[in-house]
Structure 1
Amino acid sequence: MKKIIVPIDFSDCSKNALNNAILVAERMGMELVLLHTFMLPVATTDGTPLVVGSMIDDLQEASEANMADFIKKNKELKRVPYHTEILAGLLLHGLNDALEKHDAAFVIMGTHGASGLKKTFIGSNAYTVIKNVECPVIALPEDADITKMKRIAMSGDYKHRPAAHSIEPVITLTKAFFAHLYIIHIDQDKDLEHDEIEIAKSLEQYLKKVSHSFHFKRDYDVEDGLLAFAKEENIDLLVMISRHHSLIDRIARGSETKRLVMDIPMPLMIMPE
């Protein structure tokens, strides 16, 4: 059975991510892995770092107690199969360990203090995770809800012919939620070139079984155009392929002139190529 890994830090933000993950798991017949990581305590002796074993044991026990309490308060978990994993170390390391052990379809994680794409990345682990795990990651701003999503937009890059495996996760997600998939290409040029049209046509072979449409928007700034489209079409989930890291970097940095567009709540899914 495919797994969905949900990082848990016992906050309201991770609770919201869990609630969304439960519905996704239920729709797609998947199992949840609730992953909690805690930082190792370090003491020093003559300037030499020393991890104290008894402190690790105490933190492990405290984490297990917190997880049990967290599960007790989230009764919706009874609807899907799940298990927990508690590991010492950084979240990224814990996630990569979990991904090696499990046949994971998605990582679904909450992002603290998020009201838009810019804040989704700043002050959270989301950006580090997105850039460094080989699994589709769904990053959910605080209070975001994808449990009833009907409009999914995928940023189309007509410069590269996509591999089937790179877009299969978004296709299965679209089918599971009976959603419509918008393929949106943003370019400053007025018309698509011949090679770009051929690549766009090649996508059709992957999308025959899902409701979909192709869209072209002219804009001199790719991220402005992409986010404006998402706002205009009331998109529930914005999907990008990880080769667009430069675009993600620009969104994360943002600017004062983009504040109005950036402040829309936007669940984001990044797929590894």
Structure 2
Amino acid sequence: MKKILVPTDFSTQAENALKVAAQLAKKHHCELYLLHILEVPVHTVDALSTYNDLPEAMFFMKLAQKRFEELKAKDYLKGLVVHEHVEFQEIFKGVFHVCKNNHVDLIVMGSNGANGLKEILIGSNTEKVVRTSEIPVLVIKKEHTVFKTKRFVFASDFKEESKPAIVKAIAFAKILGSKMHLLMVNTPNHFITSSDAQKRVQNFIKDIEMPNYSINIYNDVTIETGIMNFSQSIEANLVGMSTHGRQGLSHFFNGSISEDLVNHAKRPVITFKI
């Protein structure tokens, strides 16, 4: 992991993500890329040739540059290599271009989702990036003075199509020095015995090198609540799962979530595309 992208609208949520990204960058010697999306109705903005034609665009461009300078002066970014980018397009397209052009390894995003695991990820901008990103997306909901990654829960159905995602997750866990707690949630609607579930997970990982992990079968009313409750039970620092491109996370969730799980959802979530 060498390069980390942080999309920012200069909000508190975005800065929470940047603080986590800065901690990761210092620990793993990464460069940071800050991306701000300007929602100006133009296709192309050239700072030299369009000043007279697009004064509004130039105003917001200069304002973004000013905010970048203020952000880069923060103490938690001292000693880090920080690049800034401004894009005039939809956020997921801007993220895609910056990631592709700069070979970014990880995206860290803030979210103000209020309730449950789904709401952390299903928000206009965050959800679009999670759904379309080819590289891992780490979603941060609150400020982490010290970002811990010791206990990493990875939830999956452990079917063959999920292997590419878990291989990426294992590589990420190794970088962070995390213990992976592999989790399969058993629900009434898709019930299999604990013995069969254990065999499925073991067969799934038999050809994968995993130095530090546990296998966990957890019964709950829905997959989402199972992920949340199990993560709470072991005080997980990070929750990971796979996404299916344009289907996003919809395939993963089979019901709504109780309000008493709101606090559990404040854990960071990382997604890996299959």
- What TM-score comes out, normalization by structure 1 length? 0.83
User: 1:190 is matched with which residue: 186, 189, 193?
Assistant: 193
Q: How does 1:72-83 map to 2 (within 5 A)?
A: 72=73, 74-83=74-83
Q: Give the fraction of aligned pairs with identical amino acids, expressed as a percent.
A: 22
Structure 1 residues 145 and 176, CA gap change in structure 2 (3 angstroms) = farther
The answer as to 2:170 corresponding to 1:171 is yes
The answer as to 2:12 corresponding to 1:12 is yes
Would you say the 8 A contact 1:161–1:202 is kept in 2?
Answer: no
C-alpha distance in structure 1 between counterparts of 2:214 and 2:149, whole Å: 16
Q: How does 1:5-84 map to 2 (within 5 A)?
A: 5-41=5-41, 53-72=54-73, 74-84=74-84
SS at structure 2 position matched to 1:89: coil
C-alpha distance in structure 2 between counterparts of 1:172 and 1:159, whole Å: 19
C-alpha distance in structure 2 between counterparts of 1:167 and 1:192, whole Å: 21
The answer as to 2:198 corresponding to 1:206 is no
The unaligned stretches of length 5 or more in structure 2 are 43-52
C-alpha distance in structure 1 between counterparts of 2:80 and 2:254, whole Å: 38
Query: CA-to-partner distance for each residue in 1:193-220, whole Å, 9 max, x for gaps?
Result: 38x72553342443433x1111111234
Structure 1 residues 270 and 85, CA gap change in structure 2 (3 angstroms) = same
The unaligned stretches of length 5 or more in structure 1 are 43-51
Would you say the 8 A contact 1:120–1:141 is kept in 2?
Answer: yes
Task: Write 1 or 2 for the structure with the bigger share of strand.
Answer: 1
Structure 1 residues 145 and 160, CA gap change in structure 2 (3 angstroms) = farther
In the TM superposition, what is the alpha-carbon distance from 1:121 to its structure 2 partner? 3.6
Would you say the 8 A contact 2:38–2:89 is kept in 1?
Answer: yes
SS at structure 1 position matched to 2:228: helix
Q: Which amino acid is the alignment partner of residue 203 of structure 1?
A: I
C-alpha distance in structure 2 between counterparts of 1:136 and 1:155, whole Å: 15
Query: CA-to-partner distance for each residue in 1:140-171, whole Å, 9 max, x for gaps?
Result: 112256722211000132232543x5334422
C-alpha distance in structure 1 between counterparts of 2:115 and 2:78, whole Å: 30
Would you say the 8 A contact 2:117–2:228 is kept in 1?
Answer: no
Q: Alignment length, in residue pairs?
A: 256
Would you say the 8 A contact 2:108–2:137 is kept in 1?
Answer: yes
C-alpha distance in structure 2 between counterparts of 1:178 and 1:119, whole Å: 28
Q: How does 1:1-273 map to 2 (within 5 A)?
A: 2-41=2-41, 53-72=54-73, 74-112=74-112, 114=114, 116-121=116-121, 123-144=123-144, 147-160=147-160, 162-163=162-163, 165-187=164-186, 188-193=191-196, 197=199, 200-209=202-211, 211-243=212-244, 245-248=249-252, 254-255=256-257, 258-264=258-264, 265-273=266-274
In the TM superposition, what is the alpha-carbon distance from 1:39 to its structure 2 partner? 0.6
C-alpha distance in structure 1 between counterparts of 2:145 and 2:171, whole Å: 19
Query: CA-to-partner distance for each residue in 1:29-68, whole Å, 9 max, x for gaps?
Result: 32111111111147xxxxxxxxx52221121111111111
C-alpha distance in structure 2 between counterparts of 1:105 and 1:34, whole Å: 14
- What TM-score comes out, normalization by structure 2 length? 0.83
Structure 1 residues 201 and 263, CA gap change in structure 2 (3 angstroms) = same
Q: CA RMSD in A?
A: 2.5
Would you say the 8 A contact 2:156–2:184 is kept in 1?
Answer: yes
Would you say the 8 A contact 1:158–1:200 is kept in 2?
Answer: no
